[in-house]
Structure 1
Amino acid sequence: MNKKYPFDPSIKHHFIIAFGLAIWIFVFLYFTEPFDVSVFNRTEKLIYLPLYGVLGAFCYLLFLPIQHFLFKKNNENWFIKTEILFLFIFISIGIVSTRLFYLYVIVPGEPNPHDLSFHLKTIILPVLSTILPIIIFGRFAFGKYKNKQTEALKIEIKGEGNYEGLRLFLNDIICIQSSDNYIEVFYVSGNELKKHLIRNKLSVIADEFPQLLRTHRSYVINPFHFLQWKTANSKLFVILFHHIEVPVSRTYQNDVKTVLNSTTE
């Protein structure tokens, strides 16, 4: 349940799913004619059936603010349990909305409307059983596509030989410190500071990723995370995100000041 699930937060793509849902509901009802739909004449079908489609799209879009809240609350992660929660809420809203639409739009004032049990078995559940796979597939497909695009934007800090590398966004890197024949990568994951040791040379990383700024023979930093300067005992330091202090040697001072001052203008 806590396993990550492919998810695309794009509002545009969810509107596409909602639009496709509206079209599918209309087509399904028009051509299959479940109980009650078959009694509509042609004009009534063209009036009421598109409204059923709009109702389905509305039920889907109604969840989007909650979806956005859950996505942000989980540090922009989406899990199987949250996807199941979405489906449960959608089904619940769909059943209530369809029932009210039937009572107050399709048969307003009728003395003997179908009871809820019969309405569920003959129309609501059959329709839900056909549209849920469409929703699940659409959301999953957009999520997988988003994940592929996201992975394509990541960089890979490789290790020598069979040592494991690290794949992450450039702006997730705070700094990299040299440690003998290893480098220690300081990076953020969500709001947490993490470290990863890789067997490689800092000079190789500095050459491979010119976006990172050399401040010292043992450090490169990501200018994106620069917060402020610090001077102590006539030595210059930069303060980075998570209050990481990195020394700036005289060799690199001019270049570092030029780059960092330009990023704060």
Structure 2
Amino acid sequence: MKQLNPSIKLHLLIGALTSVWIFLFAFFIRPYEHGSMDFTIWITVSIGFSVLAFVCYAIVSFIQKIIYQQLSKWSFLLEVGMLLLFFVLYTVATYTFYRSSLVKGFYDFTTFLREIILTSMLILTPILILFRTYAIKLIPSREETITIKGENKLDILKIKPSDLICISNSQNYVEIFYLDQNELQSKLIRTSLKKLQADFDFLLQIHRSHLINPSHFKSWKDASTILLTQMELPVSKNYKEQVLAL
């Protein structure tokens, strides 16, 4: 896998679906049960294991997005690394829960890993790969249009992602700079940078007041300014490392 859909919202959905599957697996297969749990306790235990799966995958989602923003690319090794990270986090979290006073599990860590986690990995890994592969198909094509909406009904702009150069803060508005027939244009829309960054994951923050489309990065003008297509913007120290990685 050489691509990644970095959308946090989408991966949280994947985490939720994964946790539902783990709940069903834990509840019906009962890999942790040793014959001493009544129905109410087992429901609680199954929910606990599924919630831990969601939390662990959510952590991985944020970590992989940071890595992807830093490198602006993805690889098979990174994909494998994220899956392994999920299982490492999940193993530690579930074993801690398993040995808690609620579950009172008696397996040592080696037995727990062999009897429970490895079995779970064999079943869960194909499902995660399927979810993550499908997520890539949801990435908008560069030739498709994106719709940028503001708070007012008339605040709307439809453009190709490749035509979007940058977005700058302008008090209660943002100013969107884009190309139309290779001519630089701009439009004011009443919304926030934070919302647009959440809506469009390919945008890179370079300053508290500026988001850029990395594909329009040209070069550094000096130590604190970059050149984009037909314009230039300042880069703050807090975001300089991200731009250097382009």
Whether the TM-score (by the shorter chain) exceeds 0.5 is yes
How far does the alpha carbon of each residue in 1:144-173 deviate from its partner, in whole angstroms, 9 at most, with x for none? Answer: 221xx224427xxxxxxxxxxxx982346x
1:150 partner SS: coil
Alpha carbons 1:35, 1:123 under 8 Å: kept: yes
Of stretches 38-47 and 80-89 in structure 1, the one that deviates more from structure 2 is 38-47
Alpha carbons 2:23, 2:49 under 8 Å: kept: yes
Paired residue for 1:84? 80
1:16 partner SS: helix
Partner AA of 1:102 in structure 2 = Y
Show structure 2 runs of 5+ residues with no match.
146-159, 166-178, 187-215, 217-226, 232-246
Change (3 A) 1:72 1:35: closer
Paired residue for 2:2? 4
Mapping for residues 102-251 of structure 1, pairs under 5 Å = 102-108=98-104, 113-146=106-139, 149-153=140-144, 169-171=162-164, 211-212=180-181, 221-223=183-185, 241=228
Question: Which of 6, 9, 27 matches 1:30?
Answer: 27
1:119 partner SS: helix
Partner AA of 2:45 in structure 1 = Y
1:55 partner SS: helix
Question: Which of 45, 48, 73 matches 2:45?
Answer: 48
C-alpha RMSD over aligned residues: 2.8
How far does the alpha carbon of each residue in 1:168-207 deviate from its partner, in whole angstroms, 9 at most, with x for none? Answer: 82346xxxxxxxxxxxxxxxxxxxxxxxxxxxxxxxxxxx
Supply the distance in 2 between the matched residues of 1:8 and 1:53 (Cα, whole angstroms).
23
Change (3 A) 1:243 1:12: closer
Q: Does 1:94 align with 2:90?
A: yes
Alpha carbons 2:5, 2:136 under 8 Å: kept: yes
Supply the distance in 2 between the matched residues of 1:65 and 1:35 (Cα, whole angstroms).
29
Paired residue for 2:189? none
Q: Does 1:70 align with 2:67?
A: yes
Of structures 1 and 2, the larger Rg is shown by 1
Partner AA of 1:31 in structure 2 = F
Paired residue for 1:203? none
Show structure 1 runs of 5+ residues with no match.
155-166, 173-209, 214-220, 226-239, 245-265
Aligned identity (percent) is: 25
Aligned residues: 165
- CA shift at 1:37, angstroms? 5.6
- CA shift at 1:45, angstroms? 1.5
